[in-house]
Structure 1
Amino acid sequence: MTSTRDGVPGHLLFDRLSALDIAAFVVDGTDLSPGSAIPSDGDPRIDHALAGFLFTCGPDHIRHPEPVEGCDEGRRYPLHGSLAGTTVTRAKMSADDTRCEALTEVDLACGGKAAVERRWYVSENGQSVMLEDRVTNIGQSAFAPMMMYHMNIGGRLLGPETHIVSPSIEGGSLGWQFGEGESAHFCIPAVGEEGWSEVLLAPLPGLGGRRLAVRFRVDTLPFLQMWRCQRGGANVISIEPASHRLAKRGELAASGELGAIEPGQSHGYALGFAVS
């Protein structure tokens, strides 16, 4: 799929082997994706997905493995959930290469099943790439929907002048090498206007001083998580709109934050991004 911003074309390469995530995002000949400059958690699904520009965590779990509730068989939710590595059931690209729709049916770790209806499209002004997801419970029992979108940027494109800019951040701005040590992350409530929050990564000296802008719906993605890793050969930073705060499933359930959708019910999620 192709978009244009300020006269500069951007090309997206979709990954049909992983829920129509984005394997590469090329702007003016430069791929923003980290490629092989990522750490490995030992899960080949995630190693494959993390090398791309965007991969989707969920729809049943979004972080590190945890036991499945009420299951005494030692069953665990996999790293980042069940969707990553799931082949697209069907997909269709528009003739003008500006829209793509897909359906992915995924078997959940809890024994249920969900359908992820995905729509990628270029905004009306042609300057932003938009994603709309609808997660529907097509199984026989309720499950707790959880979603997080990893948008991965190669650290080679950033410099000492690069900052994270967002109304969600105290003071409005933070240097991209936040925290201490070789790896760090944070998860904060997303602040926005008219139902959307925004975060910028700018400037990107490895991309001609341009900036990456990301917007996301705060009703179903009410948290902004960010992660970076500069360890060994890894050099990556990730913008991660998330449905839940950083806490164990048991804690989220006890406080009423985990939620559930019954068979036939759906939740919707949306985000957009642009380089300018």
Structure 2
Amino acid sequence: MTATLFGAPLDDAIRLMGSIEQAVSITSSTLAGGPSSMSRRIHVINGDLDFEVLPDRALDLGQLRVAGMPVAWISPTGFPRLVAAGVDAQSWLRAFGGGLLTTCGLLNVGPASHDGEQSHPMHGRISSLPAEVTRTEVVDEEIVIEGIVREAAVFGENLELHRRITSRVGGRTVRVADRLVNRGSRPVEPMVLYHLNFGWPLVDEGTELRSPATEVRPRDDDAAVGATSWATFPAPQDRYPEQVFQHLLPADQTIDVEVVSPRGLTVGVRFDSAQLPGLFQWRVAEPGHYVLGVEPSLVPTILGRTAAREQNLLVPLEPGGHLNLGVEVTLSTPVPSRR
């Protein structure tokens, strides 16, 4: 497919511009002031698509906009700079900024858990760890950002997450490709979940979630209330207990999930169920927390490491072994025509 930029073939657009930086750029900065003071940001502009990468949050993704419209939900906490992961659920919730992507893991997904002699905080430590950024450039009609995040402990795990974020110049897709490597001398049983968070105005009353699930199961009594309406987002309410649904997926297939807004914007989430066999949906519909989460997962549970072990869902990654994981997000809106 020929790349385009603002409705023109990419080659023509580049020829007509004084510099490609008129439409495409990667800018690194350190914020000053506020709760995010001294935290690093990488801001990417790709035509009418722009998004934030968070180096101090494992190269997670902050806000993403298309033609100026925000797509991701940002929590009231924002993205404060962290030194280490919290030790309990309350600590995690005080620093969960949301954003397009919060990575959960690498050893726990869900509530804080104990596993043998180890304690694991809610949703793990990875999103509180800084990345070593190794590459930021535009090359061969592609924006590329790469980095390495390490989760390690003396006498414990030694895991490296090699992350590659790409976006085709003139396109509306952001791809996150991860390579998880066990650098330790002992097997490790990883847990990884991609917590994708969508907010208003994409998410509004009547927004649809389209899933290829063979079955959708509510997590608890609060979710059971919405068991027949999980596919349609409700109007905001003063109080709306969070609802989580498990989507059972066909095995070893390319999975396409769509968030379809009445405003004409569709966001597609694509991943491979051979890599990520689990999928969860999270929704809250109250002011300030009007959010829809789409969450592909390496381990098909969101109840914590203890539950995963009890259900025999943990798979060892041998020393020197690696896993290839990742997701991509594509936005579909009308593209302006060339006059």
Smaller-chain TM-score bracket = 0.7 to 0.9
Counterpart amino acid of 1:146?
A: M
**Residue in structure 2 matched with residue 43 of structure 1 by the alignment:** 91
Identity %: 23
Distance (whole Å) between structure 1 residues aligned to residue 312 and residue 214 of structure 2: 26
In 2 relative to 1, CA 136–28 (structure 1 residues): closer, same or farther, beyond 3 Å?
A: same
In 2 relative to 1, CA 70–232 (structure 1 residues): closer, same or farther, beyond 3 Å?
A: same
Candidates 242, 245, 260, aligned match of 1:186: 245
Unaligned ranges ≥5, structure 1: none
Deviations 1:178-210 (A, max 9, x none): 9x9432011122237x731011010253xxx21
**Residue in structure 2 matched with residue 197 of structure 1 by the alignment:** 255
In 2 relative to 1, CA 248–92 (structure 1 residues): closer, same or farther, beyond 3 Å?
A: closer
**Residue in structure 1 matched with residue 233 of structure 2 by the alignment:** 176
Conservation of the 8 A alpha-carbon contact between 1:88 and 1:102: yes
Q: CA deviation at 1:227?
A: 0.3
Q: TM-score, normalised by structure 1?
A: 0.83
Conservation of the 8 A alpha-carbon contact between 1:12 and 1:22: yes
**Residue in structure 2 matched with residue 226 of structure 1 by the alignment:** 281
SS at match of 2:124: coil
**Residue in structure 2 matched with residue 90 of structure 1 by the alignment:** 133
1:252 pairs with 2:308: yes
Conservation of the 8 A alpha-carbon contact between 2:206 and 2:234: no
Conservation of the 8 A alpha-carbon contact between 2:58 and 2:129: yes
1:21 pairs with 2:66: no
Q: Please list, as runs of the form range in 1=range in 2, the aligned pairs for 1:40-189 lying within 5 A after superposition.
A: 41-43=89-91, 47-67=94-114, 69-71=115-117, 75-96=118-139, 98-107=143-152, 111-123=156-168, 126-168=171-213, 174-177=231-234, 181-189=240-248
Distance (whole Å) between structure 2 residues aligned to residue 59 and residue 215 of structure 1: 21
Conservation of the 8 A alpha-carbon contact between 2:108 and 2:304: no
Counterpart amino acid of 1:175?
A: T
Distance (whole Å) between structure 2 residues aligned to residue 109 and residue 12 of structure 1: 36
**Residue in structure 2 matched with residue 213 of structure 1 by the alignment:** 268
Unaligned ranges ≥5, structure 2: 8-46, 79-88, 217-229, 333-339
Counterpart amino acid of 1:159?
A: D
In 2 relative to 1, CA 254–183 (structure 1 residues): closer, same or farther, beyond 3 Å?
A: closer
CA RMSD of aligned residues (A): 3.2
In 2 relative to 1, CA 110–146 (structure 1 residues): closer, same or farther, beyond 3 Å?
A: farther
Distance (whole Å) between structure 2 residues aligned to residue 254 and residue 6 of structure 1: 52
Q: CA deviation at 1:170?
A: 5.0
Conservation of the 8 A alpha-carbon contact between 1:58 and 1:148: yes
Aligned length: 264
Distance (whole Å) between structure 2 residues aligned to residue 204 and residue 35 of structure 1: 21
